[in-house]
Amino acid sequence: MKSDLFMVLSSLKDPKRLDVLPTNRSEKELQIGSDNFYMKRIGENKYRLYSKNMVLLEVDSEYIVPCPECGKLMEQIALPTDCFSLGVYMCMNCRGTAKK
């Protein structure tokens, strides 16, 4: 069974590059954890990035987010809804594989 929640950690070398890890934590546990971000699957190959701290909306588009399934970089396909519910990302690589 695929996880629908992911821990998201900022890279030590580049805070805009995020590392995504599957987790068995609940959304509530992720919201109170020490990491600033977490991600939730919202559809096939689509994920919304969440922040526990306010993020300026213009900063949101600068994040580099790898796919939790294949590791390739995802594209942002929808803008944030507010300073905590950030952009929606889609893996074009997995999307192409799913269409075959």
pTM: 0.85
For residues 75 and 67, is the Cβ–Cβ distance under 8 A? no
Q: Which pLDDT belongs to residue 2? A: 66
The tens-digit pLDDT sequence of the chain (100 residues) is 467 999 998 888 888 899 998 888 888 888 877 678 999 999 999 999 999 888 887 777 788 999 999 999 999 999 999 999 999 999 999 987 755 5
